[in-house]
Structure 1
């Protein structure tokens, strides 16, 4: 039975009742579907047996995805900051030499 501020989800055919604020319900349901899909992919590969091991492998895979995405985003942000710094340096150099002659 669902109580207020809980969400019922199924992961690998097992029901879970999870406390969750109403505004996070959609996010929780999406996360549960994503986890269920990852666990089913691992189980269907036949390389990992046992729900606990499947869950750990899914957690490792999801963590790896998140860390890899974070590293890419951090790298992109660094490149953008470097580009902006170069633009600022160029603009400052142009301002300090309005005639275009070398100092």
Structure 2
């Protein structure tokens, strides 16, 4: 299993990542999903700064993954994500 270098673009910045050849497509799809999520968060105007946008996106995606593993319904998943997002926004505002 040999690694190759893959270039992915997230929020208009290019990143170089090493991954196994057979994982290339999955990495590119993951980067595209992350890029979409980060752009959506940035476009709300509620979160400023690349690091904070990245943390919000990572937490939202992690939360979705955990909910999917536990088999939650879509409605409760959305409500929980909304609640988590609001808590994170409050915490980030308090940190300023």
- TM-score normalised over the length of structure 1: 0.66
Partner of 2:92: none
Aligned residues: 70
Partner of 2:4: 5
Partner of 2:23: 24
- The secondary structure found in structure 2 opposite 1:5 is strand
Q: CA deviation at 1:24?
A: 0.4
- The secondary structure found in structure 2 opposite 1:44 is helix
Q: CA deviation at 1:54?
A: 0.1
- TM-score normalised over the length of structure 2: 0.70
1:21-100 alignment to 2 at 5 Å?
21-72=20-71
Over 6 Å off, 4+ runs: none
Higher Cα Rg: structure 1 or 2? 1
- The secondary structure found in structure 1 opposite 2:17 is strand
Q: CA RMSD in A?
A: 1.2
Mind listing any 5+ residue stretches in structure 1 that lack a counterpart?
74-103
